[in-house]
Amino acid sequence: MTAYIIRRLWQMVPTMAGVIVLVFILFNWIGGDPAYVLAGKISNQEQIDNIRRQLGVDQPYYVQLWIFVKQVLTGDFGASWSTNERVSNILATRLGPSLTVLVPLLFLDTALSLTLALAVAYVRGSLTDRMVMIVCTIGLSVSVLVYIIVFQYFFAYKLGWFPVQGWGNSFLENLFVYSSLPILIALVVSIAPNLRLYRTFFLDEINQDYVRTGRAKGLSENRIMWIHVLRNASIPIITHLMAGLPGLLLGAFLIERFFSIPGIGREVILAVERSDFPVIKALTVYVAFATMASNLLADLMYKAADPRVQLK
Amino acid sequence: MANEIALKAPARTAREVPHTVSPGLWALAWKRLKSDHVGMVSLAIVVVFILMMIASGTGLIAGDWSKEVGVNYAAPSFIGADIEAGAPAAPAAPAAPAIPATEYKSDVVDPLADVLAELKGEKKPRAASAEPPAAGAGEKSVDPLADVMADIRKDAKDKKAEVAEARLPTLPLGGDKWGRDVLKKTIKGSETSIFVGLAAAAVATFLGTLFGAIAGYYGKWVDDAFNWFYSVFNAIPYLLLILAVAAVLQQKGTLTIILILGLTGWTGTFRLIRGEYLKHKAREYVQAADAIGASNARRMFVHIFPNVSHVVLVQLSIYTVGFIKAEVILSFLGFGVPVDVVSWGSMLNEAQNELILGKWWQLAAAGTAMAILVTAFSLFTDALRDALDPKLKGLAGA
């Protein structure tokens, strides 16, 4: 097991190197000289000179690459070009609000879509099943933007059940007052695709022999569905959940923008608007690392969920 | 192409029944697709949208979408001239101001009245302070719209003919802030969105197929190199990668967004096509091609490719749906098409502010058009996949 983990960590090195080179090519080579990028955005010549010196723009590319590698290794990505705030500080302070919205969402979404998917898989082929699938298909086709715009207008603006936007200082206030509508909207948007996906996972299992055996020896339907089918279908579910996990670091771009939640998603959009490269570079590197780590974690969880899995 | 084959096939089978050439993959797939009613209806809808895109692109329809034909926020025709739209009463019945005036009194409680007045003020900013007495009863002076109404009425009297001719009170699907026809905007917007979706899907599928074919066919270190490339792209979440590229590419334009989506989206196809090529390169027909001296490129693209092309087609279709959605979000955020190009995303961006004023039609038009196309395209993709690869049907279907 330990040997497996070490080997997997070792295999991350070339991929991480690739990510660093890709980000470097994108921002230092294609992105070009920050003096041009920032022309019109920062008027202070001294500040631009400072940024150029930090990046070593006048140096050859391999020196610039080395500067970037050192930034990644030390975790010090310098300061934001537009606000001069430390990048590490930006990411640390914006992570909280993003997680306040996304962690409850992740739990609610998983619990609800798994339950509903088990239910419709159980009555597969029935009218209920087909109606749910039709609703999901149509629900999936409507743009996320339309959901957010309409829900925000209707529930917050028209009915006044929720604040239109904003963010407070206390955690509980944020969670229950400001996050509830964003979570509700994100739930509506994410349940449809997840329900459809989980349903196909369950359908693959529900006709297996062990289900019939379980019934034959008199297990309750609840036990068959929740214990046996769910556990056997857990590998693709884990894959799907773990693939979404690095998204927690990214926040929800649109939700945070609409509801003025000071999270990472909003920060990324702002950074793109202002050509604030250090923020995007830092986040890309961190999220790439998180993606690889969660892939590894997923593989370890396969083993826990299904002892037949051989890690090699 | 599939169409021609399908038209010929039944005639041939009718004449010489048993020993005919067995129908090919495409003929069979077309036959299966034809028996799938949902798939055929979806295909028809998709074709209508694509024809609309071509017609709009060549300027046959909606060429004059940017003309301000209606009043500001003209109401949709099926609702009739909306009272809140202000101006409609003026050119039609300048002699009967009593009815709109009483209607407006109910608006006094509307918390948005100020906003409405201000928005209308954009178009008619002339000082109305000289007019209040003429506007009528004293109680109406609390109505923030009274001034505007008076102004509009005066305008209407001044150039009645011109107003009546140039500005329509209602439009088929309503008008936007500048009085442009929402129906034409939606058509023009679908041209942009569908074109971007199709073109980006073509780029992504092409890259994915090319890389996958090379990696799968040559194997060994070539495969390792492409797999490394794939895992690098896969380590960065898709949306973040798109935003990063959008941040770096400063100039906005339709071509830019096609490239952004296409260059970042090839990974899924790569994985599938690589697997197919790994499977096919060991098959006997490829060995036979090798034996008769076919070059590597010929074996890859003339012999193997037709056998995996159904995977490519399904991928193209899946990508198109995904990229249409992505384009809408990018354009909404302002990283997509430039300002002078209308797309569903930029329409939704305008619609966000309009909804607060109660002008829901642009949101409804863009949202519905997109929902119809995406539903039809997704259902068509499912039908296409079932038709081309019947083995999968049990997995994905009911």
Q: What is the ipTM of this complex?
A: 0.81
Most A CBs within 10 A among B236, B343, B360, B380, hence the mutation to make, goes to B236
Which amino acid is residue B82, in one-letter code? D
Give mean pLDDT, residues A30-50.
Answer: 68
Distant-in-sequence, close-in-space partners of A57: CB < 8 Å, separation ≥ 6: A33, A34, A35, A64
Flag if A18 and B237 touch (Cβ within 8 Å). Answer: no
Q: Do the beta carbons of residue B254 and residue B195 sit within 8 Å?
A: yes
Instruction: Indicate the residue type of B190.
Output: S
Closest partner CB to B352 (pick from A27, A125, A149): A149
Higher per-residue confidence, B78 vs A226:
A226
pTM: 0.76
B233, B236, B363: residue with CB nearest A287: B236
Between residues A126 and B23, which one has the greater pLDDT?
A: A126
Which chain A residue shows the shortest CA-CA distance from B231?
A: A15
Q: Please, what are the averages of pLDDT over each run of 10 residues along chain B (398 residues)?
A: 47 54 78 82 87 80 70 68 46 40 42 50 42 42 60 56 56 70 81 89 92 88 88 83 79 81 87 87 87 87 84 86 86 79 83 78 83 87 78 45
pLDDT at B57: 77
Q: Is the pLDDT of residue A48 over 50?
A: yes
Contact B192, B53 (CB under 8 A): no
Cα separations in angstroms, B338 against A275, B247, B333, B381: 17, 14, 11, 30
CB contact under 8 A, B398 and A129: yes
Share of chain A above pLDDT 70, in %: 94
Find the distance separating the first CA and the last CA of chain A, reported in whole Å. Answer: 9
Could you tell me the end-to-end alpha-carbon distance of chain B, in angstroms, rounded to an integer?
Answer: 30
Tell me whether A23 touches chain B (CB under 8 Å). Answer: yes
Q: What is the mean pLDDT of residues A51-68?
A: 75
Average pLDDT on A184-211 reads 86
Q: Pick the residue with more confidence: B255 or A28?
A: B255
pLDDT at B147: 62
Distance CA B27, CA B21 (A): 12
Whole-Å CA distances, B313 to A179, B271, B290, B302: 42, 15, 27, 16
% residues pLDDT > 90 (chain A): 3
Largest CA distance in chain A: 80
Q: In chain B, which residues have their Cβ closer than 8 Å to the Cβ of A251?
A: none
User: So what's the pLDDT on residue A60?
Assistant: 76
Banded model confidence at residue A222, pLDDT cuts 50, 70, 90:
confident
The reported pLDDT for the residue numbered A38 is 67
For residue A271, the chain B residues in CB contact (below 8 A) are 247
Residue B165 CA to residue B396 CA, distance in Å, equals 56
Q: How far is B374 from chain A (nearest CA, A)?
A: 5
